Amino acid sequence: MSDKSPRVDGAQPPATLDDPHLLPSAKNPKRMEALAALAMLIGMAGFAAFIVVYWINASNYWESATLGIGMLGLGVGVIAWGKYLMPQGPFVEERHDFHSTDDERTAFNAAITGRGGLEVKRRKLLLGIFAIGGGIMTLALIVPGVRSLGPKPAKSEDTEGPVENSLFTTNWKKGSKLATVSGRLVQVDDLEVGGVLTVFPQGFEGSSPDQVILIRLAQLGPNDPPYPIAPPGKTSWGVQGYVAYSKLCTHLGCPVGLYQERTQQLVCPCHQSIFDVNAGCIPQFGPAPRPLPQLPITVDPTGQMRANGSFDQAVGPGFWERP
Ligand code: FES
The residue ranking higher by pLDDT, 318 or 26, is 318
Residue 104 located in a structural domain: yes
pLDDT of residue 256: 94
Which of 42-46, 154-158, 230-234, 295-299 is most confident?
295-299
**What does the chain come to in residues?**
323
pLDDT of residue 4: 43
287 lines ligand 1 (CB under 6 A): yes
Residue-wise pLDDT for 234-279, tens only, equals: 877 888 888 999 999 999 999 998 999 888 899 999 999 999 998 8
Q: Distance between CA atoms of 189 and 201, rounded to whole angstroms? A: 18
Atom of ligand 1 nearest to the CA of 286: 4
Do both 142 and 197 map to the same domain? no
The residue ranking higher by pLDDT, 57 or 207, is 207
Determine contact, residues 306/300, Cβ cutoff 8 Å.
Answer: yes
Q: How confident is the model at residue 41 (pLDDT cuts 50, 70, 90)?
A: confident
Residue-wise pLDDT for 72-102, tens only, equals: 988 888 888 777 777 666 777 778 778 888 8
Determine contact, residues 165/154, Cβ cutoff 8 Å.
Answer: yes
Q: How confident is the model at residue 13 (pLDDT cuts 50, 70, 90)?
A: low
Ligand 1 center to 252 CA (angstroms): 5
Do both 201 and 111 map to the same domain? no
Spatial neighbors of 182 by CB under 8 A, at least 6 apart, are: 205
Residue 255 located in a structural domain: yes
Residue at which a domain ends, from 115, 147, 179: 147
What CATH number does the domain containing 308 carry? Answer: 2.102.10.10
Residue 132 located in a structural domain: yes
255 lines ligand 1 (CB under 6 A): no
Residue 156 located in a structural domain: no
Ligand 1 center to 293 CA (angstroms): 15
Q: How confident is the model at residue 105 (pLDDT cuts 50, 70, 90)?
A: confident
Mutation test of ligand 1: which of 208, 211, 251 has the most ligand atoms closer than 8 Å to its C-beta? 251
* DSSP SS3 for 245: strand
The mean pLDDT of 279-295, rounded to a whole number, is: 93
H-state helical runs in the chain: 29-55, 60-80, 102-116, 123-147
Residue at which a domain ends, from 112, 147, 182: 147
Ligand 1 center to 299 CA (angstroms): 31
The whole domain housing 49 covers: 20-147
Residue 312 located in a structural domain: yes
211 lines ligand 1 (CB under 6 A): no
Please state, for a pLDDT cut of 90, what percent of the chain lies above it: 27
288 lines ligand 1 (CB under 6 A): yes
Do both 290 and 175 map to the same domain? yes
The mean pLDDT of 285-308, rounded to a whole number, is: 93
pLDDT of residue 199: 96
247 lines ligand 1 (CB under 6 A): no
Ligand 1 center to 270 CA (angstroms): 5
CA distances from 218 to 198, 240, 243, 263, 294 (A): 18, 11, 11, 10, 18
Do both 223 and 295 map to the same domain? yes
Do both 209 and 305 map to the same domain? yes
Do both 129 and 188 map to the same domain? no
Do both 183 and 136 map to the same domain? no
pLDDT exceeds cutoff 80 at 212: yes
Do both 110 and 215 map to the same domain? no
Looking at the structure of the chain, the number of domains it has is 2
239 lines ligand 1 (CB under 6 A): no
The mean pLDDT of 27-32, rounded to a whole number, is: 75
Ligand 1 center to 271 CA (angstroms): 5
pLDDT of residue 318: 82
| β-bridge partners, 304 | 187
Nearest CA among 134, 170, 140 for reference residue 155: 170
- Using DSSP, how many helices (H) and how many strands (E) does the chain show? 4, 10
Q: Distance between CA atoms of 176 and 44, rounded to whole angstroms? A: 83
Q: Distance between CA atoms of 84 and 15, rounded to whole angstroms? A: 12
Residue 162 located in a structural domain: no
Q: What angle do CA 241, 246, 252 make, to 5 degrees?
A: 140
Ligand 1 center to 289 CA (angstroms): 10
Q: How confident is the model at residue 282 (pLDDT cuts 50, 70, 90)?
A: very high
Mutation test of ligand 1: which of 211, 258, 268, 319 has the most ligand atoms closer than 8 Å to its C-beta? 268
Do both 194 and 289 map to the same domain? yes
The mean pLDDT of 206-233, rounded to a whole number, is: 72
From atom 4 of ligand 1, which residue's Cα is the shortest distance away?
Answer: 271
Do both 198 and 134 map to the same domain? no
Nearest CA among 219, 182, 181 for reference residue 199: 181
Do both 24 and 72 map to the same domain? yes
Supply the pTM of this predicted model: 0.54
pLDDT exceeds cutoff 60 at 300: yes
Do both 188 and 312 map to the same domain? yes
Q: Distance between CA atoms of 101 and 118, rounded to whole angstroms? A: 24
Residue at which a domain ends, from 147, 181, 216: 147
Ligand 1 center to 320 CA (angstroms): 18
Ligand 1 center to 247 CA (angstroms): 11
Residue-wise pLDDT for 129-184, tens only, equals: 667 767 766 766 676 666 666 666 665 555 555 555 566 788 999 999 999 999 99
| β-bridge partners, 243 | 215
Q: Distance between CA atoms of 288 and 174, rounded to whole angstroms? A: 28
DSSP 294: B
Please state, for a pLDDT cut of 70, what percent of the chain lies above it: 69
Residue 12 located in a structural domain: no
Residue 236 located in a structural domain: yes
* Helix 60-80 × helix 29-55 angle, to 10°: 160
Residue-wise pLDDT for 202-211, tens only, equals: 999 999 889 9
| β-bridge partners, 259 | 266
Positive or negative, the Cα torsion across 79, 84, 87, 90? Answer: positive
From atom 3 of ligand 1, which residue's Cα is the shortest distance away?
Answer: 252
Q: Mean pLDDT across the chain, nearest whole number?
A: 79
Mutation test of ligand 1: which of 213, 247, 248, 252 has the most ligand atoms closer than 8 Å to its C-beta? 252
